[in-house]
Amino acid sequence: MMKVMIMMMTSMIMSATIMAMCTVMSKKSYMDREKMTPFECGFDPKSSARTPFSIQFFLITILFLIFDIEIIIIMPMVLTMKISNKIMWAWTVTVFMIILIVGLFYEWKTNMLEWS
Protein backbone atom coordinates (compact mmCIF):
# COMPACT_ATOMS: atom_id res chain seq x y z
CA MET A 1 0.00 0.00 0.00
CA MET A 2 2.87 2.32 0.78
CA LYS A 3 4.42 1.75 -2.66
CA VAL A 4 1.19 2.79 -4.34
CA MET A 5 1.02 5.99 -2.29
CA ILE A 6 4.64 6.83 -3.09
CA MET A 7 4.04 6.24 -6.81
CA MET A 8 0.92 8.43 -6.75
CA MET A 9 2.73 11.25 -4.96
CA THR A 10 5.69 11.00 -7.33
CA SER A 11 3.46 11.16 -10.39
CA MET A 12 1.53 14.14 -8.96
CA ILE A 13 4.72 16.03 -8.17
CA MET A 14 6.14 15.32 -11.62
CA SER A 15 2.89 16.41 -13.31
CA ALA A 16 2.71 19.61 -11.27
CA THR A 17 6.37 20.38 -12.04
CA ILE A 18 5.87 19.89 -15.78
CA MET A 19 2.71 22.04 -15.78
CA ALA A 20 4.50 24.79 -13.85
CA MET A 21 7.43 24.73 -16.27
CA CYS A 22 5.07 24.95 -19.24
CA THR A 23 3.22 27.96 -17.83
CA VAL A 24 6.48 29.76 -17.05
CA MET A 25 7.85 29.12 -20.55
CA SER A 26 4.62 30.08 -22.33
CA LYS A 27 4.50 33.57 -20.79
CA LYS A 28 7.20 34.82 -23.18
CA SER A 29 4.76 35.97 -25.88
CA TYR A 30 3.36 39.44 -25.43
CA MET A 31 0.05 40.31 -27.02
CA ASP A 32 0.50 43.60 -28.81
CA ARG A 33 -1.46 45.21 -31.65
CA GLU A 34 0.88 44.08 -34.42
CA LYS A 35 0.85 40.43 -33.38
CA MET A 36 -2.93 40.37 -33.08
CA THR A 37 -3.57 41.66 -36.63
CA PRO A 38 -4.19 39.14 -39.42
CA PHE A 39 -1.19 38.38 -41.61
CA GLU A 40 -1.74 38.68 -45.33
CA CYS A 41 1.46 39.79 -47.02
CA GLY A 42 1.73 42.75 -44.66
CA PHE A 43 -1.65 44.21 -45.67
CA ASP A 44 -5.00 44.15 -43.93
CA PRO A 45 -7.42 41.73 -45.61
CA LYS A 46 -9.91 43.41 -47.93
CA SER A 47 -12.48 40.62 -48.02
CA SER A 48 -13.87 38.06 -45.64
CA ALA A 49 -12.05 34.79 -45.11
CA ARG A 50 -15.39 33.01 -45.31
CA THR A 51 -15.95 33.34 -49.06
CA PRO A 52 -18.36 30.83 -50.57
CA PHE A 53 -17.05 28.09 -52.83
CA SER A 54 -18.61 25.73 -55.31
CA ILE A 55 -20.18 22.64 -53.78
CA GLN A 56 -19.45 20.73 -57.00
CA PHE A 57 -15.74 21.42 -56.54
CA PHE A 58 -16.05 20.07 -53.00
CA LEU A 59 -17.79 16.89 -54.24
CA ILE A 60 -15.14 16.30 -56.90
CA THR A 61 -12.45 16.73 -54.25
CA ILE A 62 -14.15 14.21 -51.96
CA LEU A 63 -14.50 11.75 -54.86
CA PHE A 64 -10.82 12.16 -55.66
CA LEU A 65 -9.89 11.43 -52.05
CA ILE A 66 -12.12 8.36 -51.96
CA PHE A 67 -10.64 6.95 -55.17
CA ASP A 68 -7.15 7.79 -53.94
CA ILE A 69 -7.75 5.76 -50.79
CA GLU A 70 -9.15 2.93 -52.89
CA ILE A 71 -5.93 2.84 -54.93
CA ILE A 72 -3.97 2.62 -51.69
CA ILE A 73 -6.11 -0.35 -50.65
CA ILE A 74 -5.73 -2.08 -54.03
CA MET A 75 -1.91 -1.82 -54.16
CA PRO A 76 -1.18 -4.32 -51.35
CA MET A 77 -3.66 -6.78 -52.87
CA VAL A 78 -1.31 -7.32 -55.78
CA LEU A 79 1.61 -7.94 -53.43
CA THR A 80 -0.31 -10.48 -51.33
CA MET A 81 -1.43 -12.54 -54.33
CA LYS A 82 1.53 -14.94 -54.14
CA ILE A 83 1.39 -15.64 -50.40
CA SER A 84 -2.38 -16.04 -49.91
CA ASN A 85 -5.02 -18.57 -50.83
CA LYS A 86 -5.83 -17.99 -54.52
CA ILE A 87 -9.59 -18.56 -54.25
CA MET A 88 -9.95 -16.33 -51.17
CA TRP A 89 -7.76 -13.66 -52.75
CA ALA A 90 -9.83 -13.69 -55.98
CA TRP A 91 -13.06 -13.53 -53.98
CA THR A 92 -11.84 -10.56 -51.93
CA VAL A 93 -10.63 -8.64 -54.97
CA THR A 94 -13.86 -9.36 -56.87
CA VAL A 95 -16.08 -8.15 -54.03
CA PHE A 96 -13.98 -5.04 -53.57
CA MET A 97 -14.07 -4.21 -57.28
CA ILE A 98 -17.84 -4.78 -57.44
CA ILE A 99 -18.31 -2.34 -54.55
CA LEU A 100 -16.16 0.23 -56.38
CA ILE A 101 -18.02 -0.20 -59.66
CA VAL A 102 -21.44 0.04 -57.98
CA GLY A 103 -20.29 3.24 -56.25
CA LEU A 104 -19.08 4.68 -59.55
CA PHE A 105 -22.40 3.88 -61.26
CA TYR A 106 -24.29 5.47 -58.37
CA GLU A 107 -22.23 8.65 -58.69
CA TRP A 108 -22.79 8.61 -62.43
CA LYS A 109 -26.57 8.14 -62.12
CA THR A 110 -26.92 10.93 -59.52
CA ASN A 111 -24.94 13.30 -61.79
CA MET A 112 -22.21 13.85 -59.21
CA LEU A 113 -19.61 13.71 -61.98
CA GLU A 114 -21.27 16.52 -64.02
CA TRP A 115 -19.99 20.10 -63.81
CA SER A 116 -23.11 21.79 -65.18
What average pLDDT does range 88-102 have in this prediction?
Answer: 90
CB 56 within 8 A of CB 115: yes
- Tell me the pTM: 0.47
pLDDT in tens, 20-36: 988 888 766 566 666 66
- Max mean pLDDT among 53-57, 59-63, 92-96 falls in 92-96
Residue 92 makes CB contacts below 8 A (sequence gap 6+) with: 77
Shared domain for 59 and 98, answered yes or no, is: yes
Domain that holds residue 14: 2-29
Shared domain for 102 and 63, answered yes or no, is: yes
Residue 88, domain member (yes or no): yes
Residue 95's pLDDT band (boundaries 50, 70, 90)? Answer: very high
Residue 19, domain member (yes or no): yes
Shared domain for 62 and 102, answered yes or no, is: yes
pLDDT of 40 higher than 60: no
How many domains is the chain built from? 2
Residue 96 makes CB contacts below 8 A (sequence gap 6+) with: 73, 74, 77
Shared domain for 19 and 64, answered yes or no, is: no
Residue 115's pLDDT band (boundaries 50, 70, 90)? Answer: low
Residue 47, domain member (yes or no): no
pLDDT of residue 70: 85
